[in-house]
Structure 1
Amino acid sequence: MVFQYFVPAIIFTQTATSVERINTLVDWWYLPISAILINGLAFPSIFFVAKIFKLDRLTTRVFVYAISFGNTMYIPLALVDSITSETTLFGLNGKDRGGAYICTFLLMSTLIYWVFGYSFIQKNQIETENIENNENIVITTTLNNDNLIEETKQSEDVINTFKSVLNDKQPNEEYEMKDEIKNNETKENESINIDNKKSQNSFELSTNGSSKIEEHSIITDSEIDSININQPSSSTNFTYFKSIQQSCRRIIIQLKSICSIVLSYIPLPIKRGIKNLCTPPTIATLLGIILILMYPVRDLLFNDGKLAIIGRSLKYLGSAAVISALFILGGNLSTGPKGGNIKWYVIVIALFVRMVIVPIICIGIHFTLWWYNIIPSDPMYFFVVCIESCTPPALNSAIVVNIVYPKGNEQCSSLLFWAYLTSLLTLSVGMIGTLQLISYKC
């Protein structure tokens, strides 16, 4: 229910209301590029850590997926709300501008998360299904072999008992066979005589009744001709519709054959990518982008239009996604953050790379571009891209792992627990450093 309704609702509403007009994306071009930059640094670095410590494939995917992708919406929105209420450094309407920047950042980060990230963790589901299928095949083959062995033993026992019975009853059966042969010969002679009598009687009856049958057939043929003459030509409509139906079936069959031929030439990774695009969160993202292009329809749904009740209902439905993610995280951590087979020092190194090294590199790039006015000079713009670099992992990872690969719930929940515990320090330091850089330039 969370994956099918709550998460798509919040993604759809945030994406559709992220940008007022599509032309503003030209001025805010660095926001989607910064999403690519942050994920492009975080994902390979965490994957490299997993490979250094030789984690198995299934654990590596859970490890990389749970840590690499940041919480790009809930925490930045809360921080923008709190910082604009405490300082006037960001000017008037700083909260509204910050929300617009965050939602624009979400356009690319959502696509990366639900297309690339979801397909990455879904490989665990595919591998586990293949392993289970192979195990079922082995079990069925062993059971079939055991059944064949038992059947052969039973058949051998039956044959042996039958041979013993035949050896015991052979002399008595010879006399019984002679009596049966005599009785069968007498019965055959009697049946031959009876058949001859019946054939004579049937021949007489057929000669007498043939004339009657011919008369009756003549009458019925004449009646049929009269009926056919008086019958209307309504059957032509039926044949017309039937021909249309047959032609439609032929067209559908030809289209299916063409589609099957085209799909046979498409590589398997592309087929999986297309399949992943059909997930509810990805469809919600694409629909939100379409509504940005069709802004008159978007204004009817969200901006106090005639259908604004639909937009408000979707927002209320999407607000349950965060609460559901927290419930799933708390349920998985009910026995403490000790689940999984990942060593503690591997988690420490990965969190240090993800929440210290990657933010320092990203903030350095952001500040260089902001210092030379390559990106907009708005302080809130710089604050948003820096905070997006420092956020802890996404809570939605707990939902996705719970659905796609339930065996990784303990590992994912443990990683998220330690990541959010670490973010109390790293996120605070990141905010302080960002504000110092803003005050230094301004």
Structure 2
Amino acid sequence: MALGGFYIWTFTYQLIRSSSLKFKALKTAEENEAFKGPNNDSETNEKSYLLDNNSQDQLPIRTTKTTENQTVEVSSWRKIVGMVHTILEELTAPPTLGAIVGFLFGSVTWLKNLVIGDAAPLRVIQDSVKLLGDGTIPCITLILGGNLTQGLRKAQVKPSTIIAVVCVRFIFSPLIGIGIVKTAANLGFLPADPLYHFVLMLQYTVPPAMNISTMTQLVDVAQEECSVLIMWTYLVAALALTIWSTVFMWLLS
């Protein structure tokens, strides 16, 4: 579960944030295009346009190729710098830093003894973190409920989209999970423990994480649509978990 939280707040959060930036840029471009007026430049006509094209065609070919190569190099360098910057942002995000610190204190014995336990000298840190952690679930539920109230009124989610998400989440994903777990067990990568295999298969059947609704709230994009999708997936999960748990136990018995 800790690894899952680490993955959600790194890859998933970055995916949602990048998609929100693209959506906002596209929306801004559409608004600018809608308010853009006609070109009233009196010095611009068809003749000047042809003259400009002819003047561009008369440029040396070697100069044009050199400029194109420099543009490609600059764009490639910018992509690399942007990728490194994105990775550093993900590693320095508060959830990522919290997960790294948690793994560090959990794996190192003497650090764990400083914080965890009744006799730990710094057990106040554990108590404070536990209080904050217990409050995150009600906060996420309130955020999801507030977005759902608005989503049921004005969210524009097509029924085909809801059906597609539910089918992928509760039909294709469990089938893929069965294949992966069975293959890994046959190759000897997993211990011969049916309960362990059952838990691994069950991970492919659970509904989406509620933290996704918090991420959409942070980036201020598609909060209502996300809340509606989560509502339907959790409603279907009540039936899907029961059915797939029965199937998993039948396969592992």
TM-score (norm 1): 0.43
Contact 1:329 1:413 in 2 (8 A): yes
Percent of aligned pairs sharing the same letter: 27
Contact 1:301 1:310 in 2 (8 A): yes
> C-alpha deviations, 1:48-100, integer Å up to 9, x for none?
xxxxxxxxxxxxxxxxxxxxxxxxxxxxxxxxxxxxxxxxxxxxxxxxxxxxx
CA deviation after TM superposition for structure 1 residue 385, in Å: 0.9
CA change 1:268–1:383 in 2 (3 A) is: same
Contact 2:151 2:225 in 1 (8 A): no
CA deviation after TM superposition for structure 1 residue 266, in Å: 4.4
Match of 2:156 in 1: 341
1:313 is the counterpart of 2:128 = yes
> Out of 143, 146, 153, which is 1:331 matched to?
146
Distance 1:135 1:361 in 2: 40
1:299 is the counterpart of 2:194 = no
1:111 is the counterpart of 2:6 = yes
Match of 2:212 in 1: 397
TM-score (norm 2): 0.72
CA change 1:357–1:286 in 2 (3 A) is: same
> Out of 111, 121, 139, which is 2:16 matched to?
121
Distance 1:343 1:403 in 2: 24
Match of 2:53 in 1: none
Contact 1:339 1:414 in 2 (8 A): no
CA change 1:410–1:285 in 2 (3 A) is: same
Task: List gaps (5 residues or longer) in structure 1.
Answer: 1-102, 143-262
Alignment of 1:34-433 (within 5 A): 103=1, 106-107=2-3, 109-127=4-22, 130=25, 266-304=80-118, 305-335=120-150, 337=152, 339-370=154-185, 373-404=188-219, 406-433=220-247
Distance 1:382 1:301 in 2: 33
Contact 1:119 1:273 in 2 (8 A): no
Contact 1:333 1:413 in 2 (8 A): yes
CA deviation after TM superposition for structure 1 residue 394, in Å: 0.4
Amino acid across the alignment from 1:380: L
Contact 2:151 2:227 in 1 (8 A): no
Amino acid across the alignment from 2:250: Q
Contact 1:383 1:434 in 2 (8 A): yes
- The structure with higher relative contact order (CA 8 Å, sep 6+) is 1
Match of 2:66 in 1: none
Q: How many residues align?
A: 213
Amino acid across the alignment from 1:119: Q
SS at match of 1:376: coil
Distance 2:123 2:200 in 1: 31
> C-alpha deviations, 1:24-62, integer Å up to 9, x for none?
xxxxxxxxxxxxxxxxxxxxxxxxxxxxxxxxxxxxxxx
> C-alpha deviations, 1:79-125, integer Å up to 9, x for none?
xxxxxxxxxxxxxxxxxxxxxxxx4xx32x23322221111111144
Distance 2:249 2:154 in 1: 37
CA deviation after TM superposition for structure 1 residue 321, in Å: 1.3
Match of 1:147 in 2: none
CA deviation after TM superposition for structure 1 residue 309, in Å: 2.8
Distance 2:10 2:150 in 1: 32
Amino acid across the alignment from 1:122: R
SS at match of 1:334: helix
CA change 1:357–1:339 in 2 (3 A) is: farther
Contact 1:302 1:312 in 2 (8 A): no
Contact 1:359 1:389 in 2 (8 A): yes
CA change 1:367–1:292 in 2 (3 A) is: same
CA change 1:299–1:433 in 2 (3 A) is: farther
SS at match of 1:306: coil
Task: List gaps (5 residues or longer) in structure 2.
Answer: 38-76
Contact 2:216 2:226 in 1 (8 A): yes
Amino acid across the alignment from 1:333: L
CA deviation after TM superposition for structure 1 residue 289, in Å: 2.1
CA change 1:372–1:267 in 2 (3 A) is: closer
Higher Rg of the two aligned structures: 1
Structure 1 window deviating more from structure 2 (335-344 vs 293-302): it is 335-344
